[in-house]
Amino acid sequence: MPDSYTVLHERLAEIHDLGRAGALLAWDERTKMPPRGAEARAEQLATLAAVRHRMFCADEIGRLLDRVRAETKGEPADSDRAALATIVGRDWQKARRVPEALRAEMARASAIAEHAWIEAKRESDFAALLPHLQLNVELLRRFADCYQGFEDFSHPYDPLLDEFEPGMRTHQMRDLLADLREGLVPLVREISQRPQLDDSCLRGEFPTEAQRELILQLLAELPLEQGAWRLDPTEHPFATAIGQGDLRITTRYDEDYLPTALFGALHEAGHALYDAGVDPALERTPLGRPRSLGVHESQSRLWENWVGRSRPYALRLHPRLREAFPRSFDGASPEDLYLAANRVEPSLIRVEADEVTYNLHILLRFELELEIVEEKVELSDLPEAWNARTERYLGLPVPDDAHGVLQDVHWAAGSIGYFPTYSLGNVIAGQLWEEVLSELPELPRQVGAGELTPLREWLRDRVHRHGRKLTPAEILERAGCGPLSVDPLLAHLRSKYGELYGGDPGR
């Protein structure tokens, strides 16, 4: 007779496998699927969601969890078994509140809306997306309603945020973003009064195939296991783990503007490095995935910005770019490349935004999400509301919805509560980088020499391996970073851009 933990583990492993199958279906949908397959794919994703939900919500899982909790009473909270019982116990309580039909409907609507979004964005036609958006939001309302009286949820946004950032509450996120705004707005203003940096070397003609080869080379130089990942083009880049040894990185190529694919791929590779670093002992359990999107995003942003947009990395990148695109880089020095890669300029597209203005894009999305959830804005008025906020935070008029409210897939995919985790990721990355730099003073030299394994090992030890066992706060605490704080991020930005733009912006 196998013990409760073994039985529970087997059940959860099956559910995990179905989840990975769903991840592959979603990856395929966004990278390979013939367009006419969208409808069948939506059904398949809905079925996988429904079956997983049913299997997970079974009474038997609850009984097994109870037993494992009882059996592990004396164990440290972060033992694999005790952590599983606690964390999955909460998952189970949460999942049981949501009817299976709603889960399936959300998966189906999301898959269908994602395809409508691609069309709507291409045509800059918000009206075409609107009914899908309305359905998604209606389903999210019903989802949020399932959590009345759950824990300390007090705002209708709480259950949505908790899906992506378990344990974080709306008011905490609001405070965090307010702190960021206070630091960033004067910094952006100061920078805007300085002479602008020249980024012309990054604008030109960059054939997709040449970009792809360059990026494959750069990714191969990251400490990613050989034969354990692949790179594909997509409309809205993402990274996903299909299983141990099977990471999927995607990117989008802009033939006129190099950073889109280049830094985008480094960003997604950061996600992949995180996924690859989870302790194999947690594999095929609900703990074998990253804890929160905020921590996940801290990894992607760290590799994209702290590594990728650093001076040492620019030095390393320069000869490769010159070889791939001599017309653009024969006349640009490594320092020119470094400056170009860090030009700060309010822009319309979030994923192409510089490190400094990026969080303003998040701020406007977070505020709109709150208004949607609080029913303070009609969905049909979203473009107007979007454009007004873009004017306010970025000082830019929005020429069309493709460059405005339609630019991101998240809302179309039924994800509200996701965006603010991007800024949280920046904040956490700032804290982790400050710490790793103090522990590995050789890091800048190593980045320049392409010796990136020490950084990966540090991150793996402090962050990746824990999977979902530790909360973001615990991860930061144990890593020596103290409590969550915007200060390291703001200090990093002030110091870096102070040097780049001259003077002492933002102080």
Q: Tell me which residues touch its own copies (CB under 8 A).
A: 13-14, 17-18, 20-22, 24-25, 28, 32-41, 43-44, 46-48, 50-51, 55, 225-230, 242-247, 284
Shortest Å, Cβ 504 to its own copies: 47
- DSSP assignment, residue 139? H
- Residue closer to its own copies (CB basis): 193 or 226: 226
Helix/strand/coil for 51? helix
- Count CB-CB contacts under 10 A for residue 376: 10
Shortest Å, Cβ 214 to its own copies: 20
Shortest Å, Cβ 112 to its own copies: 13
Please spell the DSSP secondary structure of 214-271, one letter per residue: HHHHHHHHSSPPTTSEEEEE-SS--EEEEETTEEEEEE---TTBTHHHHHHHHHHHHH
- Residue closer to its own copies (CB basis): 33 or 137: 33
Phi, psi torsion values for 146, nearest 5 degrees: -65, -15
128 close to 70: Cβ distance less than 8 angstroms: no
Which one is catalytic: 105, 165, 190, 268? Answer: 268
CA–CA separation, 325 and 210 (whole Å): 8
- Residue closer to its own copies (CB basis): 81 or 230: 230
Shortest Å, Cβ 242 to its own copies: 6
Shortest Å, Cβ 104 to its own copies: 10
246-251 and 239-243: which strand pairing?
A: antiparallel
CA–CA separation, 9 and 283 (whole Å): 10
- Residue closer to its own copies (CB basis): 34 or 195: 34
Shortest Å, Cβ 30 to its own copies: 13
- Residue closer to its own copies (CB basis): 47 or 124: 47
- Residue closer to its own copies (CB basis): 237 or 430: 237
Nearest to 426 by CA among 335, 373, 492: 492
268 classed as catalytic = yes
48 close to 316: Cβ distance less than 8 angstroms: no
Q: Report CA torsion sign: 160, 247, 291, 90.
A: positive
- DSSP assignment, residue 280? G
**∠ Cα 454 458 461 (to 5°):** 135
- Residue closer to its own copies (CB basis): 343 or 456: 456
Shortest Å, Cβ 103 to its own copies: 13
362 close to 420: Cβ distance less than 8 angstroms: yes
For residue 306, give every residue at least 6 positions away whose Cβ sits within 8 Å of its Cβ, in sequence order, or none: 429, 433, 492
Please spell the DSSP secondary structure of 175-187, one letter per residue: HHHHHHHHHHHHH
Catalytic residues: 268
